[in-house]
Every structure is written in structure tokens, then in C-alpha cells.
Amino acid sequence: MPSFDVVIIGAGPGGYVCAIRCAQLGLKVACIERSPTLGGTCLNVGCIPSKALLESSELYHRAGGEFAKHGIVVKPTLDLPTLLARKDKIVHTLTRGVDGLFKKNGVERFEGRGHFKNSREIEVLDSNGRVSHVLEASSVVVATGSSVATLRNLPMDGKHIFGSTEALSLAEPPNHLIIIGAGIIGLEMGSVWSRLGSKVTVLEFMDSVLPGADLDIRKQAQRSFRKQGLRFKLGVKVQSATVSEAGTVAVSYHDKKGEQSIEGDAVLVAVGRRPNTAGLGVENAGITLDGRGRIEVDDEFATSAPNIYAIGDVVRGPMLAHKAEDEGVAMAEKLAGLPGHVNYSVIPSVVYTNPEIAWVGQTEDQLKEQGVKYTRGWFPFAANGRAKALENTDGFVKLLADARTDRILGVHIIGPVAGELIGEMALAMEFGASSEDIARTCHAHPTLSEVVREAALDAGGRVLHI
Ligand code: FAD
Ligand code: NAD
């Protein structure tokens, strides 16, 4: 029986990064992945293909309207097959890249479904459910990720009612796309198909888009997306959907006024993701799940079973690729006897819409709830020269700092390249920086990063350009 120091189940950003880092640290490591391609949700049907589509659709949209403001008059036509093929090529290149990294680092790959025979032996099952290998491991890391969550009474057929995976490859823009859920996927995929020509209506259970974000960000985001033509029905409870013979879909929902119905050509269900534990044989290994079906782990990623650990989307915490990756690195370092560590209070979130949205640390509401006294710095992109040159002035930076120590507690950005700007703020928070540290750091002119600096200046009561 092949024997390893570490067997990792799942080759998403959590599992494949953990495998590479284990190998770098001299551990003998195997990775079991059920999909023929490596990279998990993120590379195959998540972060990467969605960002490729967001970029292409944004260019198409800008060419159709905003270019004229620059004095460039063009009439773009959409070649959707080429647009989708570009996305597929990026996915192919990156997933093959992980294959290359496995080979380079000496990670042994097993294709098939990992299944606990007991707490030390893992079976690899082929597509017919037959055992192709049994691996023995001193330690096992479960990194099986998550899948699209479904709704009762909305059976997905993959054609009229579907999840994010199908929404990445629609053969044509639906005339009317109904999206259930105004979270990150709803807004990103809604932006893509709206820019490519669909009428998009988003039905959301809560009373605003992006329920986890800071209130000012939510308000501004809603205004910006409405201006772009996205329609929102907030505070609604979706009941069911039926597909007609003609292929249209009627979604019935409940709002303040009572029972309602809306008809569209396709429905994207984007109401979250559920952890992948089915078929893993957790019961054979003595692994306990929490109330939400996630594998229960302690601060060291240890499950209830000895020498079995879990990381990424399958455990508590935000379902984000960089969180999974950081846990993968920390996990490997712990297994090699080093002090692996993840700082959960400094994990940035980014929504890749236009305007882009990014935040790190605490929201204003969270600080109020905790009774923390804070100062607030604010600066709009509309007062920044580079944003004007880019013709992209929607949004602002909001910085929250401790009123007593000036230490930065949270930063919330909506505006151009917010996802890049938030990196400086995450670093600042890791270093325990104050708003004055940012305000006194020279930022190049003219750059969007000056908006961050001006927000820091504003927190100290000495903003310069408004
Ligand atoms: P996954 O990436 O889900 O990988 C788990 C792997 O385990 C899969 O390859 C699966 O096939 C395999 N597996 C499962 N069970 C078994 C088994 N029994 N045996 C063998 N293999 C198994 N996050 C971001 O940070 N930024 C983004 O921009 C972003 N965009 C997204 C867009 C979309 C449309 C979606 C759906 C998600 C997006 N995410 C994004 C979330 C991100 O993809 C996940 O947080 C991340 O992939 C989680 O990594 P993971 O390694 O825990 O799990
Ligand atoms: P989400 O949790 O971000 O949003 C789901 C939304 O659906 C919420 O606003 C929720 O209130 C709403 N909802 C739930 N049930 C509903 C119902 N019955 N009717 C109407 N609305 C309902 O989930 P998601 O958008 O599906 O994304 C899944 C995960 O993938 C997220 O955890 C996210 O972190 C990750 N993701 C990240 C990125 C990124 O980092 N850019 C992009 C895509 C996905």
C-alpha cells in the first residue's frame, strides 16, 4: 500500500497550495482529486473564468458607450463564442499550470474520489465507484471545497434554472435573466450578462445587496448597479419556479404586498454554497460536522479525528480562494512542525464589478455594536485626477481608525481597482499601521492610491483636496 506523510483530498486553492508547500518542506505528499483538471472551483468554474468574463464584458460595454466620451467612435459587435473560448483558454492554461507545479515539486497525484476507509487509509474510487488505490497516510488534509447551494422548489435543470457553473458558459445572453441572490455571484454574473445584452432582475431576501458589506458601500453599490440597468427586488422570499412549454420560467415570490410572480428566460440561483462532505466517508473516520454541514475544526485545523485536518470552503470562515490558500500554507507548515498562522481579521474581500468593491477589517456597524470609538476618513474618487482621466469616478474610500490609538480598524472601497487598492490596506493592518502612517507615506501622483491616502488624511482632520 503506498504510504505518505500527508494525503490531501481535493486540489482546489486550499488543497493544491497545501500540497506544494508540504512538498517544499520535505514531506512525502499525495493529492487526490476527483476532477480530471486541478485547481478546484476557483480555477475551473469560479474566480478565474468569472473574472475573464467580467473583463471581456466590461470592454464590450465600454466600447459601446464610454469610448465615445474619449472621442473614439466604434460600434462593437459581440462574438460570444470567441469571448467564451478566451475564458476557456485561460482556465486550461492555469489548470495545466497546477499540473506542472505538482510535477516540479514532486506531489503525487491520484485521480478519483477520495473516501475514508478508516482514519488512516483513504480509498481512491474511479468514476464507477471501484477502488483503484488505497493510500496510507500519517496525516490527512480534507480540502474538498464547496458546491452550489440549491433551493427547494427550484429544481435546477442546467438549462432554464442553473447555478454559477452554467452561468459561465451560456450560449447566448438570455433576454431576461432572473438571478436569485444579490451576493457576490449574483452581482458579478448579473453584471456580465447585463453588459452583454440581457435584462437582469435580481431577487434578494435581505433588504439590500451584499448583506455582509458596510452600509455606505451597500447604498452606493445599489445606486451604481441600478444606474447600469440592473433591477433589484429586495426583501423578497422566493417560493418556486416553473418552466413553461415555451421554455420561459415563472418565479413566484412573496414580498410586502403578498404573492408575486416574475417571468424570465433563465434563472440563476446564487444563494450561497454548501460544503462538500457527501461520499467522503467522514463517518468511517470519526469526523464531526457542525450545524451547517461543515467539517468542524479547531484553531489548528484539527478535526475530531486524530491526524485528520480540514481547510478551505469545507470549514468555517469566508468561502474565498485566498483564505483557502493561506490555510493551505499554514496547514503545511504546522504539519512540518513550523508555526503556521492565518490572521482571520485581515482577509480582504473583493467584488469584481464596476465599480469594484473591496474591504478589509471591520464595518462601521460592527464597530458600533462593539462600542468601539472610531474616527472616519472619507474621500471620493470624483476628486482624484487619475480617476477623472480614467473616466471612472464613481465611489469612495472610507477608512475607520481607533479614536484613541489611530490604529486602522477597517477600510471600505468602492471604485476603480478597489481590489488592488485594498492590498495596501491589508498590509497596513498586518503591520498594525495607524491612519497617520498612511497619511505620511508618499503616494505617487496621479494615482488612485492617492484616494486611500486622502481618506487617511481625512481621518486625521487634514484632508487636502476636498
Ligand atoms: P474548491 O476550490 O472547491 O476545491 C475542492 C476540490 O476538491 C475540487 O476540485 C473538488 O473536485 C475536489 N473534491 C471534492 N470532493 C472530493 C473527493 N471526495 N475526492 C477528491 N476530490 C474531491 N473566491 C475568491 O477569493 N475570489 C473570487 O473572485 C472568487 N470568485 C468565485 C466565482 C464563482 C463563480 C465561484 C463559484 C466561487 C468564487 N470564489 C472566489 C470562491 C472560491 O472559488 C472558493 O472559495 C475556493 O475555490 C475554495 O477553495 P477550496 O480549495 O477550499 O475548494
Ligand atoms: P453569497 O452568500 O455571497 O450571497 C447569497 C445571497 O443570496 C445573499 O445575499 C442571501 O441573502 C441571498 N439569498 C439566500 N437565500 C435566498 C432566497 N431564498 N431568496 C433570495 N435571496 C436569497 O453567495 P454567492 O453569491 O452564491 O457566493 C457563494 C460564495 O462564493 C460566497 O461565499 C463568496 O464568498 C464566494 N465568491 C466570492 C467571489 C469573490 O471573492 N469575488 C466571487 C464569487 C463567489
Please tell me the predicted confidence (pLDDT) of residue 193: 98
Whether residue 155 lies inside any domain: the answer is no
Grid coordinates belonging to 133: 488505490
Q: How far apart are CA 219 and CA 30, in angstroms?
A: 47
What is the sign, positive or negative, of the torsion defined by CA atoms of 452, 409, 349, 335?
Answer: positive
Out of 250, 271, 292, pick the residue that ends a domain.
271
Return the higher-pLDDT residue of 120 and 300. 300
Residues 6+ apart with CB under 8 A from 219: 208
Are residues 250 and 396 part of one domain?
A: no
Out of 247, 271, 295, pick the residue that ends a domain.
271
Please tell me the predicted confidence (pLDDT) of residue 192: 98
pLDDT band at 283 (very low <50, low <70, confident <90, very high): very high
Residue pointed to by grid coordinates 465599480: 355
pLDDT in tens, 10-43: 999 999 999 999 999 999 999 999 999 999 999 9
Residues 6+ apart with CB under 8 A from 325: 13, 14, 17
Residue 266: enclosing H or E segment and its boundaries? strand 266-269
- Burial label, 139 (beta-carbon count in 10 A; 0-12, 13-18, 19+): buried
Grid coordinates belonging to 147: 458546491
Please tell me the predicted confidence (pLDDT) of residue 269: 98
pLDDT in tens, 104-153: 999 999 999 999 999 989 999 999 999 999 999 999 999 999 999 999 98
**445 in active site:** yes
Q: How far apart are CA 364 and CA 351, in angstroms?
A: 19
Please tell me the predicted confidence (pLDDT) of residue 129: 95
CATH number at residue 61: 3.50.50.60
Average pLDDT of span 214-221: 98
Are residues 137 and 19 part of one domain?
A: yes
Please tell me the predicted confidence (pLDDT) of residue 264: 98
Contact between residue 368 and residue 376 where contact means Cβ atoms under 8 Å apart? no
Q: How much distance in Å is there from the Cα of 131 to the middle of ligand 2?
A: 36
Report phi then psi at 209, rounded to 5.
Answer: -75, 160
Please tell me the predicted confidence (pLDDT) of residue 356: 98
SS3 (DSSP) at 77: coil
Q: How far apart are CA 226 and CA 222, in angstroms?
A: 6
Please tell me the predicted confidence (pLDDT) of residue 34: 98
Question: Could you give the percent of the chain with pLDDT greater than 90?
Answer: 99
Whether the CB of 357 sits within 6 Å of ligand 2: no
Out of 297, 317, 342, pick the residue that ends a domain.
342
| Mean pLDDT for the chain overall | 97
Average pLDDT of span 84-102: 98
Please tell me the predicted confidence (pLDDT) of residue 73: 95
Whether the CB of 401 sits within 6 Å of ligand 2: no
Domain of residue 408, residue span: 346-459
Please tell me the predicted confidence (pLDDT) of residue 276: 98
pLDDT in tens, 170-200: 999 999 999 999 999 999 999 999 999 999 9
Please tell me the predicted confidence (pLDDT) of residue 270: 98
Shortest-distance ligand to the CA of residue 203: 2
Question: Could you give the percent of the chain with pLDDT greater than 70?
Answer: 100
Per-residue DSSP letter, 391:
T
Q: How far apart are CA 6 and CA 331, in angstroms?
A: 11
Residues 6+ apart with CB under 8 A from 345: 361, 429
Instruction: Write out the E strands in 12-112.
Output: 29-33, 108-111
Whether the CB of 206 sits within 6 Å of ligand 2: yes
Please tell me the predicted confidence (pLDDT) of residue 165: 98
Report the residue count for the chain: 466
Q: Say how many domains are in the chain.
A: 3
Which member of 160, 176, 445, 465 is catalytic? 445
Nearest CA residue ID for atom 8, ligand 2: 183
Nearest CA residue ID for atom 14, ligand 2: 271
